[in-house]
Structure 1
Amino acid sequence: MTDVKQRIEALVKGHEVVLFMKGSALFPQCGFSSRAVAILDHLGVPFETVDVLQDQEIRSSIKEYSDWPTIPQLYVKGEFVGGSDIMMEMFESGELQQLVAADA
């Protein structure tokens, strides 16, 4: 496993909820990242963010790690959930609330 994949794995496994995004939770750098942060804020769950704009290795490797072509990417309990569109669909259906609340 490459160094950057190990770093990604440590982030994914080391936090209950982690969002790989463009920018930070306080200053998202794209609309999709902004929407993802808004959804998580609304859920009221603590989450970690990783700014892919600050780390080119993670930015290029996270898409390969998840086999998902876009950013943001949400991971809950070490599992890839999806991007902002999937997050919105899951939020609207109540599925995302259940996922983050399960055995919390």
Structure 2
Amino acid sequence: MDQQTNDLIKNEIENNEVCLFMKGTPDAPQCGFSMATSNILKILEVNFKGINVLENQNLREGIKVFSDWPTIPQLYIKNEFIGGCDIVKEMYESGELKKLLVEKNIKHKS
């Protein structure tokens, strides 16, 4: 991955408490997994930034290298990689996601 892409990813993760690298945007997701993950964040009323990886091929490939995770979407909360759709869904259903948001002091619907 080139330095510019690496810097872009780091910058987004460091400057946004909750950051979702996804296909499409939160208002117009372009894949079911991205839609499901952004919907969970919307249900919890979490303020998050969605980054559309489809706009930039380097970003689309770079985020997979950065996280060492093969799929998109990818959720980061306060600089920590949380996981993809299945993990976020599991954490939401078990209550772990809410617990994490409380621990990381992220405003959400309780």
- TM-score by structure 1 length? 0.96
Where does residue 65 of structure 2 map in the other structure?
Answer: 64
Where does residue 5 of structure 1 map in the other structure?
Answer: 6
Where does residue 54 of structure 2 map in the other structure?
Answer: 53
Classify the secondary structure of the residue corresponding to 1:49. strand
Report whether the alignment pairs 1:21 with 2:22: yes
Q: In structure 2, what residue type is equivalent to 1:64?
A: V
Unaligned runs of at least 5 residues, structure 1: none
Instruction: Write the distance in 1 (CA, Å) between the matches of 2:16 and 2:102.
Output: 14
**CA deviation map 1:16-61 (0-9, x unaligned):** 1000000000000000000001100011110000000011111010
Classify the secondary structure of the residue corresponding to 2:76. strand
Unaligned runs of at least 5 residues, structure 2: none
Q: In structure 2, what residue type is equivalent to 1:73?
A: Q
Q: In structure 1, what residue type is equivalent to 2:37?
A: A
Taking the TM superposition and a 5 Å limit, the aligned residue runs for 1:26-41 are: 26-41=27-42
- TM-score by structure 2 length? 0.91
Shift of 1:86: 0.2
Instruction: Write the distance in 1 (CA, Å) between the matches of 2:61 and 2:8.
Output: 13
Classify the secondary structure of the residue corresponding to 1:63. helix
* CA RMSD across the alignment: 1.1
Instruction: Write the distance in 2 (CA, Å) between the matches of 1:9 and 1:100.
Output: 21
Shift of 1:100: 1.8
How many percent identity over aligned positions?
48
Instruction: Write the distance in 1 (CA, Å) between the matches of 2:99 and 2:15.
Output: 20
- Number of corresponding residues: 104
